[in-house]
Amino acid sequence: MIYAHCIIISGNPDPTSWVIEWVEPYLDEDGYPIEDMCGKVLYFYLVNDSPVFAETKEELQEAYPDLYETRNNDGDLIGYAPPMSFAFINGTCFDNPIMLKRNPGYVSKLKAGSRVDVERYLKGNWKIMPEGSNYFDRSWLTKVDSIPEGSVACRAWDLAGTEPSEKNRYPDYTACTKLWRTPQGRYIIVGDFHPTCKEVKKNTRDIRGRFRLRPGTRDEIIINQAESDGKECYVVIPQDSASAGKQVAELMWSAISSEGFICHIDRVDKKNKLKKFEPFSAAAMNGMVDILEDSFPNVASLNAYLTELEEFDGSPSTGLRKDDWVDSTSSCFNYLNNAPIYPKFNLSDKQQKSTIGHSAIQEIKTITGL
């Protein structure tokens, strides 16, 4: 007996949705569905939690033999796992004449909406962005394949400490951004995420560089990430303007600096996020920011990061539209652009921790007024 399994999903165009990875092969450069592609069956394997498509099963089976062949613990071939199939079918309200007959004013309501709503819900555009979201565009970035000698690195964090729950399904993320400043004054975006720097809940996508965990586990991951980046990478953590913000920042600074890393505290003004982001935005717009795409562990992580920056328009974050990477990117860029860089130390680990800790203590006293 042969069993056939089929999953049918419907939804509206959304450039921030996980669905965009699946729909991408069926879209043109502007985000509109390609008429000749709609309904065409493609085959896929999931590689690093992202679909890799091909027009034939054989093409994928040859490219990914480890996914095609099923072997036991002894390495014996016991079966095959052929690629699965996928098809995208574009549809608009005009494909539902019964609904239009019952609700003749529906199209008029869509046409009376914003430019983005008209493009998405009437014309089926999957890549359209709000007009105000023009403080960053990934097309401004130049792709590079290496870090120039003599460059300086920094990783900045935006902190949160709440896990998703029934009461709060979409809390903010703890997110981080790493930048290199080159001797020529350019900036390079990299991923270089530690394997633990991600969500740990089941059925979540493998998006690295952000997570929603309680402070204890969060702080362990931050230390893991610092160790992975190395002592030549400066660490920036935020100090929230709330009453407990100063104490939290000091505790985190103490934990990080005691491990021998140079840590800086960045005061956060939630009312001026756009103003804080503008220097990075200007540098990117003027072609001064590069990206090392190979440093990101998968396409999903790269797209999630860039999409959040592109969607930022200065308005407060919501349950589904976040600005945590925006904040960490701002902190990282502004630190590298403005802060004095400490000289490198050639001492033993024990001496280095003591010396760096003493210097950092003097700095935090100056910053916080202690």
Q: How confident is the model at residue 20 (pLDDT cuts 50, 70, 90)?
A: confident
Strand pairing class (42-47; 50-54): antiparallel
Side chain identity at 344, as an amino acid letter? K
Indicate the residue type of 115: R
For 112, the enclosing helix (H) or strand (E) is: none
Is 60 exceeded by the pLDDT of residue 345?
no
Render pLDDT for 229-274 as a digit per residue (tens, 0 to 9). 999 999 999 998 666 678 888 889 999 999 999 999 998 776 689 9
Per-residue model confidence (pLDDT) at position 294: 96
CA-CA distances (angstroms) from residue 103 to 8, 94, 146?
A: 25, 12, 57
Distance from C-alpha of 92 to C-alpha of 116, rounded to nearest angstrom = 15
pLDDT value of position 287: 95
Most confident listed range (200-204, 282-286, 338-342): 282-286
Percent of the chain with pLDDT over 90: 57
pLDDT at 352: 45
Extract the tokens encoding 152: 């300086």
Cβ neighbors of 286 (< 8 A, separation 6 or more) are: none
pLDDT tens digits, 135-169 = 999 999 999 999 999 999 999 999 999 998 888 88
Whole-number pLDDT of residue 4: 61
Asked if residue 331 lies in contact with residue 156, where contact means CB atoms within 8 angstroms, the answer is yes
Q: CA-CA distance, 150 to 347, in Å (whole number)?
A: 20
Mind spelling out the 3-state secondary structure of 188-227?
EEECCCCCCCECCCCCCCCCECEECCCHHHHHHHHHHHHH
| Residues near 294 by beta carbon (within 8 Å), at least 6 away in sequence | 145
Checking if the pLDDT of 275 tops 70, the result is: yes
75: confidence class by pLDDT, cuts 50, 70, 90: confident
At residue 110 the predicted structure's pLDDT band, cuts being 50, 70 and 90, is: confident
Whole-number pLDDT of residue 346: 47
Which amino acid type is present at position 197? C
* CA contacts within 13 A on the Cβ side of 342: 23
Share of the chain above pLDDT 70, in %: 86
Average pLDDT over the chain reads: 86
DSSP H stretches of helix in 339-368: 349-368
Does residue 152 or residue 117 have the better pLDDT? 152
Q: How confident is the model at residue 2 (pLDDT cuts 50, 70, 90)?
A: low
Q: How many helices (H) and strands (E) does the chain have?
A: 12, 13
Lowest mean pLDDT among 173-182, 322-331, 333-342, 356-365: 356-365
pLDDT above 70 for 3: no
pLDDT of 359 = 47
**pLDDT over 60 (residue 184):** yes
Helix (H) or strand (E) holding 283: helix 273-285
Cα-Cα-Cα-Cα torsion 300, 303, 306, 310, nearest 10 degrees, comes to: -130
At 351, the pLDDT band (50, 70, 90 cuts) reads very low
DSSP for residue 33: B
Q: Which domains does the chain have, with CATH numbers?
A: 20-122 (no CATH), 138-368 (3.30.420.240)
- Return the pLDDT at 166: 81
Task: Give the span between the Cα atoms of 1 and 3, in whole angstroms.
Answer: 7
pLDDT at residue 340, as a whole number: 64
Decide if 144 contacts 136 (C-beta within 8 A). no
Q: Is the Cβ–Cβ distance between 186 and 146 less than 8 Å?
A: no
SS3 state at 222: helix
Give me the residues paired with residue 189 across strands: 179, 291
Nearest Cα neighbor of 152 from 254, 231, 264 is: 231
Mean pLDDT of 51-65: 93
What's the average model confidence in pLDDT over 28-42?
92
Distance CA 307, CA 302 (A): 9
Which pLDDT tens digit goes with each residue over 293-306?
999 999 989 999 99
Indicate yes or no: pTM above 0.85. Answer: no
Quote the pLDDT of residue 277: 94
Contact residues for 205 (Cβ-Cβ < 8 A; gap 6+):
18, 49, 199, 300
DSSP secondary structure letter of residue 83: P
Report whether pLDDT(181) > 50.
yes
- Does the pLDDT value for residue 361 go beyond 50? no
Angle CA 31–35–40, to nearest 5: 105
Q: 73-94 b/e with 16+ CB inside 10 Å = b?
A: eeeeeeeeeebeebebebeeee
What is the structure's pLDDT at 363?
45
